[in-house]
Amino acid sequence: MNALQLQLEDLQQAFAHEPSPSFAERKERIERLVAMIDKYEENLCKVVHADFGNRHSVETRLTELAMVRQTAKYTIKHLKSWMKMRDISLPMHLKPSKAWVQAQPKGVVGIISPWNYPIQLALIPAISAMAAGNKVWLKLSERSPRTSGYLATIIGEFFHPLELCVTTGGEDAARDFSELAFDHLFFTGSTSIGKRVMRAAAENLTPLTLELGGKSPVVINDDANLADAATRIIYGKLINGGQTCVAPDYILIKHELIPELKDALAQAAETLSLIHI
């Protein structure tokens, strides 16, 4: 815990020396992150496969690396407008004063990422935090140790630890990490662990973003094309072995349509299982 506290203090001091990075600096860091995954794309696919045991490289490229690239592209495209000052109108009795709103970095942002999408759910929040001008500290999941270890290595190649810092380790490390006085803490994972993170963060009044697993309904209208709906439901449910926070969990449909939907779901599952990638 002492070592973690010292690292946090180093990051806080680094932020104090650079409290508001320019657009060019933020853009360059995001582009550097994309260059990192471009350079090591094949190896990233291999370590994810080693952790999962059955994750095809196409699935990793689609659900992890492509999403990181798309997020980076979208962020860079809109970042200048996000950083602009917005004038605010004032009542007559406050004239000739002027007022405006301008987004400012918070400071040091901690990110606790999960194992089911070990690349994108670590790097996408990091892109958002870097775009906002913050220093970023990742705690990578111990349940995908090969991917986490490799990510830590290549991040160390591309980033100074006072720009983007990485910590690995088990549950004790995650607990100690969540107890640090971050300026913002981002957690993705289960509801039960999310409650623990919230309790730990409350001690420091740390603002939180919690992206927790839940129950995702599918609503099917009476006039829907059931074959199309079934294909989309099965795809969403089975991709990444079903380990997706928005994977459909239950279906709301008119009772009379249930038999037809069951047949369509079975047919969709059989068809998709025959597709070899």
Say whether pLDDT at 273 is over 90.
no
Say whether pLDDT at 104 is over 80.
yes
71 pLDDT band, cuts 50/70/90, is very high
176 to each of 55, 102, 138, 165, 200, how far by Cα in Å? 31, 33, 13, 16, 9
Structure tokens at 112: 């606790």
Q: Which candidate in 211, 256, 260, 270 is catalytic?
A: 211
Q: Which candidate in 28, 245, 256, 260 is catalytic?
A: 245
Q: What is the mean pLDDT of the chain?
A: 95
Say whether pLDDT at 214 is over 90.
no
Q: Stretch 115-140: mean pLDDT, rounded?
A: 98
User: How do the domains of the chain map onto residue ranges?
Assistant: 2-85+104-212, 216-273
Known catalytic membership, residue 165? no
Cβ distance 219 to 211 under 8 Å?
no
* pLDDT per residue as tens digits for the range 129-165: 999 999 999 999 999 999 999 999 999 999 999 999 9
* % residues pLDDT > 70 (the chain): 98
Q: Domain 2-85+104-212 carries which CATH code?
A: 3.40.605.10
**CA–CA distance, 58 with 55 (Å, rounded to integer):** 8
Known catalytic membership, residue 25? no
* pLDDT per residue as tens digits for the range 28-47: 999 999 999 999 999 999 99
Kindly give the residue spans of alpha helices, DSSP state H, lying in 40-159: 41-52, 57-60, 66-83, 120-131, 145-158
Say whether pLDDT at 1 is over 90.
no
* pLDDT per residue as tens digits for the range 230-265: 999 999 999 998 899 889 999 999 999 999 999 999
Q: Stretch 89-95: mean pLDDT, rounded?
A: 93
Say whether pLDDT at 277 is over 50.
no
